[in-house]
Amino acid sequence: MDYEDFLLVHLVPLISSPLDGGSSADIGRVSSAFWNGERIQTMGRAVRWAEHLSELDDYHGRATKLILDIAGVNDSRADFGGLKKALRRGGPYWLEAGAEDEDDLFDVLTLDPSIAALGSLRADGIELFDQAMEISDACIPILYIQDGKVLFRRRIDDLFTVCRSITEMGYESCIIMDLDSLGGSMDKSFWNRLSSLDIGCIPAGGIDPEDIPFLVRSGYESAVLDPRIAAKPRQEDALRPLETEHTLAKPRHSGQWTGQ
């Protein structure tokens, strides 16, 4: 398989609402994220959406982005007005806004994403995925995984059982988010075990461009990359003489995979 045929989707944890613990000045900011055992939590430097979008487009042109609305995913409190303002440019994008029912799904679809991503964290069960299939063919499930199990709002299910069920509904692919690796490093043994799934699996959680050769060899055709948030240079770095070793904090991701 040619690496150029591998679909890279960029995870964008977006702070769209002050309800998630931020202030009104934080709305429309992007940060890295990790799973703290109960919810997805932002970490590190937060940058304006426009700044992050410009950096992505410099590397990738019109890169595909998976927008993860933090307030929506954690508490089903997505600010759709804030999302509409933040996402008025920057497509193509997939949107996960923490939809819990059909009404929420219609709210997501009004923002006209390329893909409406429906996460298991806010769903009572697979019934939401079945309902979504009847409403639009532009939907894809996100199965959030902890300790190898699918986390739904009120229960935990077996991953392979859930994948069989959504395949029977007619889904050809789903995103599998390994929460244990989000914000860290990919668990290769986990993805080795899942490479035989009947449904097309889009790996997410701790994925770095350097992991792509492994994913290709394992039979995957796409992946969601963890966020690339550039660190600000420290003041002492800026003042260091040029002839000395000059190191800045490097982002985990070096850009789109080129096969080199």
DSSP character for 67? E
pLDDT (tens digit per residue) in 77-105? 888 887 887 787 777 899 999 999 999 99
Is 70 exceeded by the pLDDT of residue 222? yes
pLDDT (tens digit per residue) in 132-142? 999 999 999 99
Q: Buried b / exposed e across 145-172, counting CB within 10 Å, b at 16+?
A: beeeebbbeeeebebeebbebbbeeebe
Confidence of residue 58 (pLDDT cuts 50, 70, 90): confident
pLDDT (tens digit per residue) in 14-33? 987 664 444 455 568 899 99
The answer to the question of residue 38 being in a domain is: yes
Between residues 235 and 192, the one the model is more confident about: 192
CATH of residue 49: 3.20.20.70
Contacts of 57 (CB under 8 A, 6+ apart): 63
The answer to the question of residue 253 being in a domain is: no
Specify the 3-state DSSP secondary structure of 93: strand
Considering the chain, what percentage of its residues have pLDDT values greater than 70? 81
Total domain count, the chain: 1
Rounded-to-integer distance, Cα 143 and Cα 128, Å: 12
The answer to the question of residue 188 being in a domain is: yes
Enter the pTM of the model.
0.84
Is 80 exceeded by the pLDDT of residue 242? no
The answer to the question of residue 103 being in a domain is: yes
**Contact indicator for 159, 150 with CB cutoff of 8 Å:** yes
The answer to the question of residue 23 being in a domain is: yes
pLDDT of residue 95: 96
Residues for the chain: how many in total? 260
Confidence of residue 60 (pLDDT cuts 50, 70, 90): low
* Averaged confidence pLDDT in the chain: 83
The answer to the question of residue 139 being in a domain is: yes
The answer to the question of residue 259 being in a domain is: no
